[in-house]
Structure 1
Amino acid sequence: MQRLTKFLRNVVREMKKVSWPKRKELTRYTITVVSTVTFVAVFFAVIDLGISSIIRLILE
């Protein structure tokens, strides 16, 4: 039990040292990540459709 208490105290101490992003930074980072993921998903969807169409044309 003492080890757990000591561990949790150390966790709290370390969490206070963390440099948390400000709200504006966090919003900017979130928008960047969401837009990048969306772009990559659309890109691969288009590539997949193109490759599927080419394969369908070859097989027919």
Structure 2
Amino acid sequence: MAGSNSAVQQRGGLGKFFRGVKAELKKVVWPTKKELINYTIVVFVVTIFIAALISVVDAIFAQLFNTFLHFVG
């Protein structure tokens, strides 16, 4: 009996789910075009900065590793 009851709940639940999604999307405060452009620029700048930082740290560790190998070998 529980199986047939859960099937009914799932069918009704799916419609209820989508109605809930639609209601929640109406509550969203979407960014303006200017805000969206500013956020996108910030993401690009931070991404480039982090990539450069990782590159510098990688170069430093590579040099240290090569120096270590020179002394050991």
TM-score by length of 1: 0.91
Residue matched to 2:30: 20
What code does the residue aligned with 1:44 have? I
The Cα shift of 1:54 comes to 1.5
Residue matched to 1:31: 41
What code does the residue aligned with 1:54 have? L
Aligned residues: 60
Structure 1: gaps of 5 or more residues: none
The Cα shift of 1:46 comes to 1.0
Name which one, 1 or 2, has greater alpha-carbon Rg: 2
Structure 2: gaps of 5 or more residues: 1-10
Cα distance in 2 for residues equivalent to 1:14 and 1:23 = 21
